[in-house]
Chain A
Amino acid sequence: MSLELVCPAGTPAALRAAVEAGAHSVYCGFRDETNARNFPGLNFSPDELVEGIRFAHAHGAKVLVAINTFAKAGAMDAWKAALANAEKAGADAVILADLAVLDHAATHHPDLRLHLSVQAAAATPEAIAFYADTFGVKRVVMPRVLSVEEIAKLNAAIDVETEAFVFGGLCPMTEGRCSLSSYATGKSPNLTGVCSPPEHVAYSEDRNGTATRLNGFTIDRFGAGEQAGYPTLCKGRFMAGGKTSYLFEDPVSLNAASLIAALAKAGITALKIEGRQRGKGYVTEVVRTFRAAVEAIDAGGTEVEVGRLLAGLVEGGRQTSGAYKKAWR
């Protein structure tokens, strides 16, 4: 069976671009704290979602709505409204992480298809079976801590679909289990849907170059003339044990393109591209390229052919295949 390509849509324009470039599915979220990319200028109003789903369905593509943050205590209405609005708009599935949101969805929206977000960090057959048996979850997004071999073993032990990130941003920490950003800034993915939030970022120049800071903590330093990168906390340079290094992760992004065939063999149903903060030009290029690669694999293409298709994407920024290869650990 063909691999499903799940593509990011941070805006209605990116949704149309992804669909036109060949996305089988797009994922997006509402413009509020219910989704884990709660950044200014991104996301959908309920009306925009209705329109986006109409467009996607007319082109044979599905829309998955991410409602994947943890509901705020005493204020679950926004999450309830997001579920109701997603169902009303005709979403093909919702992507959830919080036990309370899953419970509410399973009870009050029994016809809504539920996917388990990477934020739920379900990495074992026992945890996945729990979500499937309890809430009827149909698909699990794989935590980015598993190797391809482990994903294959996991798929053999479960009977729900799995989806794996193959391209874009990369968290070295187990997603949904990280409070580094709130330790530094008070805001985090689980609390507010943001990591290393822009309002806490400062670039300050001194005679040694530029320091990038997050709420006063220096995340990296760049020499004069070097381009200063965004201070994402876990991609910074730190000093530990007498060494200065990118201790947690180099400033790299994920590219598991060379592993698409291996992931398909490991039983993955869908490949996910990260990047809801990206513009439509980027989305178009990445989606078109991955769609061609998926079709080449379907047609029995060799790794060399697939590699050639994806070569354009591996220029520029530094990339890693992450935890899919065990040496990453």
Chain B
Amino acid sequence: MPGTEKSIEMTKTGLTLGPVLFNWSADRLRDFYARIADEAEVDRVHLGEVVCGKRQPFTDGLWPELIERLQAAGKQVVLSTLALPYNPRERKAVIDFCRAGELAEINDLTALPTVAGKPFVVGPFVNVYNEGAARFLAGRGATGICLPVELPIASVAIIAAALPEVEFELFAFGRLPLALSGRCYHARLHGLHKDGCQFVCDRDPDGLPVDTLDGQRFLAINGIQTLSNGVEAFCPTPDDLARLGVRRLRLSPHTTDMVAVSRLYRALLDGRADRAETLAALKALDLPGELVDGFTRGQPGSARVEMA
């Protein structure tokens, strides 16, 4: 029945490529997004610098051509705004991005007065821990919300059930964004201050691993951001997602083959591959850390993926 097929097509779980969190050069970004445009099986791509306002001047000029390139390839483009703006230039950048005419993702409430009344999406840096906060944002125009990474999975289901009109998204792949600071840890590690940081974070395109004194792999730093060392690999079945009310998953860019990652997730979400196959294939990629998924199982976020 063609009608049935169409309705399945319409409810297909969306796949988002989140913003690049790391300090990649303009050339690297241009090459990366060209391949994403041509080959990645994601329907939505986020552009923009969300971690550090000091990096913005290096990429500001790049976005218009990338927007065009990705849209021409049929991708929906979302402009992601800074998660911790505070100086006037950064605040202006947030507002300019929100007014650029594309769908905007807010990562701090600084952006809210600018986007309110228009459709916008909410990033994982905004604290949406309950249905009241989600309802508040939906009332101002939020059409989609990528929930905070530490939110318990039980809460996800409750929030999504309360607001069926909102497209809820979960962070499914990549090092987990865990914390932001006013202080730059890359600069501090290199004996520099943030104001004279020499952009040393560009040496670590997946973040710099932080190990414990007993050699345990623990965290990773990326300028003012702290991430997990482990790579989140939430691999739900289509039924799991339907039960949770989650309609979109986010893949966070790393230097590994993101086209391959997108294809693995697309196959998983379409029921063409099972969880074990997907995890085994992800594990075989060149990843910066062990696979973890504790936050999606009611465990500490660092809990390793159980392959069985």
Contacts of A129 in B (CB 8 A): 113
**Interface status of A184 (Cβ within 8 A of chain B):** yes
- In the bound assembly, the distance between CA atoms of A221 and B136 in angstroms comes to 46
Contacts of A70 in B (CB 8 A): 127, 129-130, 133
Place the interface of chain A in its size category: 35 or more
Q: Is the CB of A191 within 8 A of B84?
A: no
Q: Which of A183-217 contact B (CB under 8 A)?
A: 183-186, 188, 190-191, 211, 215-217
Q: Is the CB of A245 within 8 A of B189?
A: yes
Q: Is the CB of A104 within 8 A of B132?
A: yes
Contact flag A327-B193 (CB < 8 Å), given A99-B132, A179-B179: yes
Q: Which of B6-14, B35-43, B65-73, B210-218 contacts A (4 or more CB under 8 A)?
A: B210-218
Q: Is the CB of B181 within 8 A of A173?
A: yes
Q: What number of B residues sit within 8 Å (CB to CB) of A?
A: 73
**Interface status of A329 (Cβ within 8 A of chain B):** yes
Other-chain contact of A182, B136, B150, B219 (Cβ < 8 Å): B150
Q: Is the CB of A238 within 8 A of B130?
A: no
Q: Which of B121-178 contact A (CB under 8 A)?
A: 125, 127-133, 135-137, 148-152, 154-156, 158-159, 176, 178
**Interface status of B45 (Cβ within 8 A of chain A):** no
Identify whether the interface residues of A are mostly helix, strand, loop, or mixed: mixed
**Interface status of B31 (Cβ within 8 A of chain A):** no
**Interface status of B194 (Cβ within 8 A of chain A):** yes
- In the bound assembly, the distance between CA atoms of A98 and B130 in angstroms comes to 9
Contacts of A76 in B (CB 8 A): 130, 132
**Interface status of B85 (Cβ within 8 A of chain A):** yes
Q: Which of B207-253 contact A (CB under 8 A)?
A: 208-216, 218-219, 221, 226, 228
Contact flag A145-B109 (CB < 8 Å), given A217-B218, A239-B212: no
**Interface status of B56 (Cβ within 8 A of chain A):** no
Q: Is the CB of A72 within 8 A of B179?
A: no
- In the bound assembly, the distance between CA atoms of A234 and B300 in angstroms comes to 17
Report the nearest B residue to A97, measured CB to CB.
B127
Contacts of A249 in B (CB 8 A): 183
Interchain nearest-CB distance for B62 vs A (Å): 25
- In the bound assembly, the distance between CA atoms of A101 and B133 in angstroms comes to 8
- In the bound assembly, the distance between CA atoms of A71 and B155 in angstroms comes to 11
Interchain nearest-CB distance for A274 vs B (Å): 17
Contacts of B25 in A (CB 8 A): none
Interchain nearest-CB distance for A74 vs B (Å): 4
**Interface status of B289 (Cβ within 8 A of chain A):** no
Q: Is the CB of A177 within 8 A of B176?
A: no
Report the nearest A residue to B230, measured CB to CB.
A183
Contacts of B111 in A (CB 8 A): 126
Contact flag A186-B184 (CB < 8 Å), given A73-B131, A238-B219: no
Contacts of A248 in B (CB 8 A): 181, 183, 185, 226
- In the bound assembly, the distance between CA atoms of A145 and B194 in angstroms comes to 12
Binding site for B on A (CB under 8 A): 70-74, 76, 97-101, 103-104, 120-127, 129-131, 143-146, 150, 172-174, 176-180, 182-186, 188, 190-191, 211, 215-221, 234, 236-241, 243-245, 247-249, 323, 326-329
7 contacts between A and B (CB under 8 A): A76-B130, A76-B132, A100-B130, A173-B180, A183-B294, A240-B221, A248-B185
- Give 7 nearest A-B pairs by CB, closest first: A100-B132, A145-B182, A73-B155, A329-B194, A70-B129, A183-B301, A74-B158
